[in-house]
Amino acid sequence: MTAYPLGVEVACDGPTAGQDCPDSAAVRAQLTSTTAREVRADGRRDGWRRRRRGTHLVDLCPSCDTDTQEKR
């Protein structure tokens, strides 16, 4: 039997610290993406952003990214 790494999934941290993503959005790893950094790169192609919220970094899908919403 051979084991293969399944990669990682990066989930949206929601529009605010106390609110979950309404879409339960997640970026799934592509076949070649096996680290969180690679998956985040996949997500950036789809409009995801990594932002600072207080002292933490958060991952935001396009619908939860407030900068994207303000530009519309």
> What residues does 26 pair with on adjacent strands?
11
Instruction: Give the pLDDT of residue 67.
Output: 60
Which residue carries 């990669």 as its tokens? 7
- By the 10 Å C-beta count (0-12 exposed, 13-18 middle, 19+ buried), 39 is classed as buried
For the chain, list residues with pLDDT below 70: 5, 67-72
Give the pLDDT of residue 49. Answer: 96
pLDDT value at position 72? 45
Amino acid identity at 20: D
**Can you give the length of the chain in residues?**
72
CA angle 50, 56, 8 (to 5 degrees): 55
- pTM for the model stands at 0.76
Q: Which amino acid is at 41?
A: A
